[in-house]
């Protein structure tokens, strides 16, 4: 009898623990583990694990990582005959140690380009550069970096091709070449085209045409990265949804690669994320230097909830959602497009505490399951 009672107690405890753990969704990565990766962008200090509290938050909440800066060409390939992989080696080791999905950002981009690359004026030299750059970096991390932003931001707002140093020297063939070189260096890596504002109709049409062209010319494109540097009121959920549907109709995955939502006034109604655009600051442009008013905090939480609700609706088409930074203190939006402001774009605040936005993203899963 005593044995049966003990047995019943054990069974009910197991059942209880199981039921309650089903309700207990406690971190972003666990909540969304059956849907898509939840990623973050790491600064150099975070890659070097300089702050234990930040590091434990990263490990607890995220299962995918992107390097915010250190894998851009000005850092990895500062001179023609010199690569510097000190930090990118640490970045990859960090992801492996923590069993995270590792994304490479980025191979071919006109910004944060090493000065010597900007000076290349000749097509033979540019071809040789692309071959050496892509092959060296992708082969080095073959099988370890699972996906790459092969080309970043090749489009203008109207969907035409940006007149970058790559287009100027090689014509549009550079796009096909970049994807072919990346595939050759690591046939299993997933290859993405990444850009901002490509959920907007004209630029989206340009991105679709570009991806089709690369594929038709024999390049392998596995996915599109919609950066997602967004605002409280725009882009509309309708445009985001149309984008998910239209891109996935090309037979590719959709990733949201640099998600953040600005709550600050926008100079000249600027949209997007051109890192070269900068404006003078003023008190009017920095309205919440100390704290974010509750009313705006609530709007931010509601905006994140509606965006993630849409992502869940299309989870079969979405591979990864990556926030551009771990917490508000680190966000590039404190310095772009105006230096020295206080922005609040991420789910964790300056003290690493959950914001209402975080709770609203988690709550969606508690009600869904």
Closest approach of ligand XIL to the CB of residue 257, in Å: 8
Our CB check for ligand XIL shows the closer of 347 and 356 to be 347
Category of 229 on φ-ψ map: left (φ > 0), alpha (ψ -120 to 50) or beta: beta
61 assigned to active site = no
Query: Which residue sits closest to ligand XIL, CB atoms considered?
Result: 332
Closest approach of ligand XIL to the CB of residue 258, in Å: 6
Terminal CA-to-CA distance of the chain, rounded, Å? 38
Restricting to residues 216-245, which ones interact with ligand XIL according to CB under 6 A? Answer: 227
**What Å distances lie between residue 313 and 61, 62, 261, 317, 350, CA to CA?**
22, 21, 20, 9, 31
Nearest Cα neighbor of 319 from 103, 95, 88 is 103
- Binder to ligand XIL among 181, 182, 273, 338 (CB under 6 A)? 273
Whole-number Å distance between alpha carbons of 225 and 152: 9
Restricting to residues 65-94, which ones interact with ligand XIL according to CB under 6 A? Answer: 68-69
190 assigned to active site = no
Q: What DSSP letter does each residue of 208-250 carry, written as one string?
A: HHHHHHHHHTT----EEEE--EEESS-S-HHHHHHHHHHHHTT
Kind plus residue range of the DSSP H or E element containing 102:
strand 101-108
Closest approach of ligand XIL to the CB of residue 321, in Å: 15
Is 329 a binding residue for ligand XIL by CB under 6 A? The answer is no
Closest approach of ligand XIL to the CB of residue 367, in Å: 33
- Binder to ligand XIL among 73, 152, 297, 343 (CB under 6 A)? 152
Restricting to residues 31-70, which ones interact with ligand XIL according to CB under 6 A? Answer: 68-69
Give the list of residues 6+ apart from residue 3 with CB closer than 8 angstroms, or none. none
**DSSP assigned state of 254:** E
Our CB check for ligand XIL shows the closer of 110 and 365 to be 110
Our CB check for ligand XIL shows the closer of 202 and 275 to be 275
Which one from 190, 199, 200, 258 is the annotated catalytic residue?
Answer: 258
Closest approach of ligand XIL to the CB of residue 271, in Å: 13
Q: Is 258 buried (19+), middle (13-18) or exposed (0-12) by CB count in 10 A?
A: buried
Contacts with ligand XIL: how many residues (CB under 6 A)? 8
Nearest Cα neighbor of 59 from 97, 23, 87 is 97
Question: Could you give the residue numbers annotated as active site?
Answer: 153, 258
Q: Which residues of the chain form contacts with ligand XIL (CB under 6 A)?
A: 68-69, 152, 227, 258, 273, 275, 332
């Amino acid at each position: 009898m005593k044995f049966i009672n003990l047995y019943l107690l054990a069974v009910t405890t197991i059942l209880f623990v199981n039921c309650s753990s089903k309700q207990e969704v406690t971190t972003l990565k666990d909540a969304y583990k059956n849907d898509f990766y939840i990623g973050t962008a790491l600064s150099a200090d975070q890659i070097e694990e300089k702050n234990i509290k930040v590091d434990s938050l990263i490990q607890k909440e995220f299962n995918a990582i992107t390097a915010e800066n250190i894998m851009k060409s000005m850092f990895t390939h500062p001179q023609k005959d010199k690569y510097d992989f000190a930090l990118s080696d640490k970045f990859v080791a960090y992801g492996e140690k923590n069993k995270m999905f590792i994304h490479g950002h980025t191979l071919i981009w006109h910004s944060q380009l090493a000065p010597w690359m900007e000076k290349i004026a000749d097509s033979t030299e540019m071809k040789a550069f692309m071959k050496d750059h892509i092959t060296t970096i992708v082969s080095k991390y073959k099988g370890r970096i699972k996906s790459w932003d092969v080309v970043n931001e090749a489009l203008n707002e109207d969907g035409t091709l940006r007149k970058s140093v790559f287009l100027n020297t090689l014509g549009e063939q550079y796009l096909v070449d970049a994807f072919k070189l990346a595939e050759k260096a690591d046939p299993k890596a997933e290859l993405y085209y990444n850009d901002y504002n490509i959920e907007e109709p004209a630029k989206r049409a340009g991105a679709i045409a570009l991806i089709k062209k690369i594929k038709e010319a024999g390049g392998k494109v596995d996915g599109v990265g919609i950066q997602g540097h967004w605002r409280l009121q725009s882009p509309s959920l309708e445009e985001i949804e149309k984008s998910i549907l239209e891109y996935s109709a090309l037979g590719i995955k959709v990733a949201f690669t640099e998600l953040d939502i600005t709550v600050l006034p926008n100079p000249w109604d600027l949209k997007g994320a051109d890192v070269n655009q900068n404006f003078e600051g003023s008190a009017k442009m920095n309205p919440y230097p100390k704290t974010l008013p509750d009313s705006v905090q609530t709007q931010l939480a509601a905006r994140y909830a509606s965006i993630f609700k849409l992502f869940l609706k299309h989870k079969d088409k979405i591979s990864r959602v990556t926030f551009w930074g771990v917490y508000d203190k680190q966000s590039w939006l404190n310095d772009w497009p105006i230096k020295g402001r206080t922005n609040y774009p991420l789910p964790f605040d300056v003290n690493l505490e959950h914001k209402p936005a975080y709770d609203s993203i988690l709550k969606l899963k508690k009600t869904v399951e």
